[in-house]
Amino acid sequence: MLQVLAMLYLWLKAGHVIFVVFWMAGLFMLPRFFVYHQEVAASSPDNAVWVDREARLLRIILWPSLVLVWAFGLGLTLSGGWLNQGWLHAKLAAVLVLSGYHVWLADYARHLAVGRRKLSGRQLRLLNEVPGIAAAIIIVLVIVKPF
């Protein structure tokens, strides 16, 4: 029985890391899409192509990965009994920031789809640092478990 539970935990962890990879890939790609999108005129046919690419990336990769990373992560938390660990609390805070960034990106895509371009390419490139920094913090917390 113990062996089955240990195996289940490893399968949950594999599922978690697979969807972390998909989620992070999408979080890196979408702001890049925005930069290229904003280089074409809002009235051009290319604009509609970018709107479609962004919507697909959100629908097919980003939203399902967000849900599955959370589902597998919470499954690991409960089955591993990690709930009272300091590193997990800090990790959850960083993951909440990353989830907030995801929601903000989805909102920005909605604005772009109706021709509103709120930020410059340079500002978007700078914002693109957020997922990298958050991922580095999260991975150190979960692997080193410093507290």
CB 36 within 8 A of CB 64: no
Q: Residue 40 or 97: which CB sits closer to ligand HEM?
A: 97
Q: Residue 57 or 88: which CB sits closer to ligand HEM?
A: 88
CB 54 within 8 A of CB 33: yes
- Does the footprint of ligand HEM cover residue 132 (CB under 6 A)? no
- Does the footprint of ligand HEM cover residue 128 (CB under 6 A)? no
Q: Residue 5 or 139: which CB sits closer to ligand HEM?
A: 139
Token pair, residue 120, equals: 């410059």
CB of 107 to ligand HEM, least distance (A): 20
Using Cβ positions, the residue closest to ligand HEM within the complex turns out to be 73
CB 57 within 8 A of CB 33: yes
CB of 86 to ligand HEM, least distance (A): 13
| DSSP codes of every residue in 39-102 | TS-TTSHHHHHHHHHHHHIIIIIIHHHHHHHHHHHHHHHHHHT-TT-HHHHHHHHHHHHHHHHH
Give the binding site for ligand HEM (CB under 6 A).
13, 16-17, 20, 24, 69-70, 73-74, 76-77, 80, 82, 95, 98, 135, 138-139, 142-143
